[in-house]
A and B are shown apart, each in its own frame.
Chain A
């Protein structure tokens, strides 16, 4: 994992071939990395989860935070397999209880990510999960939310990285684990 070709697990190529690239979505010039085609292949989906579970099961992770919405697909299976809590990080106004929020930049304007207060305890060791890392803005907001309540963010895990956007450098020094690069 993490792009080291000599160590690449044979399951990774199977996952990579299932990712569908859709040009000009959601707008012209963007080559959209569609993971829904991975989910249509039970083996590829299972391999994706297994690769992350194998990495994290002995790392004493007590919280898996998933970023809405595609982080909700990958995060819970990982959390269940390693016995961790799952915490959804959501768009504004979706979470019903008391929340804290973190703003992050979009290409035009800002957006916010919210988390329930009291969801996690200070001192929990957390993993942040999303399907893809591009600029790293959303993941950075997620790390901030968790750190503000006293979590130790151990790592960020994504299926896909777009390395040219240098998102890895925006993770406040936290390591990134990814399965597939798209250049």
Chain B
């Protein structure tokens, strides 16, 4: 579900967010139009809009845990967690988290990767939100949902700044709703630093 489909149609903040994202063609390989959110982070007003929209949505949903996917989920997740009084749980590449962890494999185009979470992260009866910058195939988010559910948390929703149009409407990931702010930008020559 996109923000415009759920009460934010015409909200000027969404255009400001979209305009602040930079498209880098053919990164990391030919054919991929990479949605670069680092330019959004250079615009304090637009960055704050992202956080405000997510906080407004989640502050009354009784979320006790915000999980962020390494590494760009670490940028958007903590400000949301802090504002809604939830804990922040980093979901990391293998070998980075100390102590006891659980891990979940997910597929890449070629091969697979793994995501890990600390076993101490989840107590009983947690309501969790998962954050990443962008959702494409949904592989990473699905692995994240698995980790949280295996630890006993209830995943309330997954949230991303950018999402492919296929996630419009009631599209769900492993039965969980997905909330996205903007679609990917098109590339044009003026989307390099303004």
Residues in A lying within 8 Å of B, measured CB to CB: 20, 22, 25-26, 32, 34, 36-37, 39-42, 45-46, 49, 68-70, 72-74, 76-77, 79-80, 83-88, 90, 93-97, 116, 118-120
Residues in B lying within 8 Å of A, measured CB to CB: 22, 24, 27-28, 34, 36, 38, 41-44, 47-48, 51, 70-72, 74-76, 78-79, 81-82, 85-90, 92, 95-99, 118, 120-121, 192-193
Chain B nearest CB from A49 CB (Å) reads 6
**Given A46-B82, A77-B82, A96-B36, are A86 and B90 neighbors across the interface (CB < 8 Å)?**
no
Write the chain B residue with the least CB distance to A26.
Answer: B95
Docked pose: A72 CA to B22 CA in angstroms: 20
Contact B82 A49 (CB under 8 A): yes
**Given A32-B98, A73-B90, are A86 and B75 neighbors across the interface (CB < 8 Å)?**
yes
Write the chain A residue with the least CB distance to B64.
Answer: A42
Docked pose: A74 CA to B98 CA in angstroms: 19
Docked pose: A91 CA to B71 CA in angstroms: 11
Write the chain B residue with the least CB distance to A37.
Answer: B120
Contacts of B48 in A (CB 8 A): 80
Contact A96 B28 (CB under 8 A): yes
Docked pose: A87 CA to B37 CA in angstroms: 11
Contact A76 B98 (CB under 8 A): no
Docked pose: A86 CA to B70 CA in angstroms: 17
**Given A39-B87, A80-B51, are A22 and B99 neighbors across the interface (CB < 8 Å)?**
yes
Docked pose: A118 CA to B42 CA in angstroms: 10
Q: Can you report 10 A-B residue pairs in the complex whose CB atoms are below 8 A from each other?
A: A34-B98, A40-B89, A45-B78, A69-B74, A69-B90, A76-B41, A80-B44, A80-B48, A86-B42, A90-B71
Contacts of A40 in B (CB 8 A): 87-89, 120-121
Contacts of A97 in B (CB 8 A): 22, 24, 36, 38, 192
Docked pose: A27 CA to B2 CA in angstroms: 45
